[in-house]
A and B are shown apart, each in its own frame.
Chain A
Amino acid sequence: MNERRLTLALMDPPYESANSTTALRIITAALEKGIDVNVFAYEGAVCLPLKDQTPHANPVKGTSVEEEEHPTTKAFVSSLLAIGKEKPLLTWVNCGLCVDERGATNVVDGVKRGSPADFFKMANESTNTLVIPTK
């Protein structure tokens, strides 16, 4: 087991708040340092890895999908799960009740389903836990 492990609780839905960007940056930096990371996605944050997200063109600016190069949070989560496949390990758990409420079941590979009990276990097993709440 890695000596250093960080748990994050995320609550913001994608494309709503700079909190999501900062959270993804924190996860990236931790993995780059070889630190294991647990993510417990709660409430709207369960939509961050939603597979149905689609990059779009911008008709106001007249740009195409390719020109717009719109980033999706599902792509970020997928990339992070690929980096954190083993050592360091990224464990991403979506709150099952939050998923059901939102119909957010179609998520990228590697995302697990769990409950707040998993968050409690993650927090107990981590060096530290950071809760990033909605404003």
Chain B
Amino acid sequence: MKTLFIKGGRLIDPSRNYDDRADLLIRDGLVEAAEKNLKPPDGAEIIEADDLVVMPGLIDMHVHLRDPGQEYKEDVLSGARAAAAGGFTAVAAMANTDPVADEPTTIRYVADKAAGAAARVYPIGALSKGLQGAELAELGRMQKVGAVAFSDDGKPVLNGTLMRNALQYAGGIGALVIVHEEDPTLVGKGVMHEGSISSVLGLRGIPAAAEEAMLARDLMLLKMVGGRLHIAHLSTAGAVELVRKARADGLPVTAEVTPQHLLLTDRAVKNSGYNTNTKVKPPLRSEQDRQALWEGLLDGTIDAIASDHAPHHSDDKDVEYDFAPFGIAGLETTLSLLLDEVAFGRIKKLTLPLLVEKMSTAPAKILGVKGGSLKPGSPADITIVDSGRSFTVNPDTWYSKSRNTPFAGRQLKGAPVYTILGGRIVMKEGVVADRE
């Protein structure tokens, strides 16, 4: 493997509060030095980064790779390429595959397939067998073969006793539980946020209380039995408030938010003329909810930003609104959507270091995986960004197999230009090279 020398960039490393110019020397897949005025060793490949921002590789802690079972939508390798193209060096893949990743074989299948892929893929195991919400899956055996967390994401756990036992049992083996908070009995046949827009459009609504009620239950269970809980994709003002209070009470809870919930509201369903690419769970909420999510992100209530990359084929999405599946594919837009917010200063207090914290350092810490740091000795997972680069979102150029995004055609400023995985350049100027 070549020695890499990243010269003169603005280096952001939240793990040691560093934000200044520095050179970065990478040898044998590890960060060897990160200081000003280093001398490039002979034969090193040099990346001129004077106008670029260098950061620890971004980690998307919530993606769906559809593999095994729905490889026509995405697979482990295409998902990893999409990740690299979007500036992510690692992703955590949810268990709602077919078969469900609820025992060691499927976990191992995903991990093995990801060896040599363009990004690290951390499998998440199912919390319950077959995502049925009835019996606990083999958390311990899956953990031994590499599952980094456990979740029934996509199928919220209605059974309170199962959730109680899951938290308690996972606590015993030091495992993280990730929850998708949506009471299915309150969701019903809802397809968008319940409010004035759903009322006008005649679409069945999903009330904010569907998320908040189940979240409140799980926080109470957490208080009762302990464990470690991570809340996926917060979407309502009330949910942010519940998490804020739980953290103030010292509960071991973390939370994430997606760019779609930070940037869009239910109005997008109307303005797009019922475009099914606005159909997502949890649904795009009200403007007031959106504002509350930013507040939560900035005040530390929300730890991480994740894409909830949910790829769907156009055959599945290009149908009537009620018939389309929920989900937005986000690996190749998430970083740029947020860089654009920073570039135009729309959100006061949203800085690049904060963004790197939310997209790299925090997810690494929550999942308990390597990365999120450029300290010497760290794996050389690095994302390099050009904050000044403008482009238009065009899903036809994606590495993902799917194209479902409500952001198509949007002009964005800020893009990843290099993704480096274990010292190897896997993406350069938007072009992904899988294997050496």
Q: Do A and B come from one complex?
A: no
The residues of B with any CB-CB pair to A shorter than 8 Å are: none
The residues of A with any CB-CB pair to B shorter than 8 Å are: none
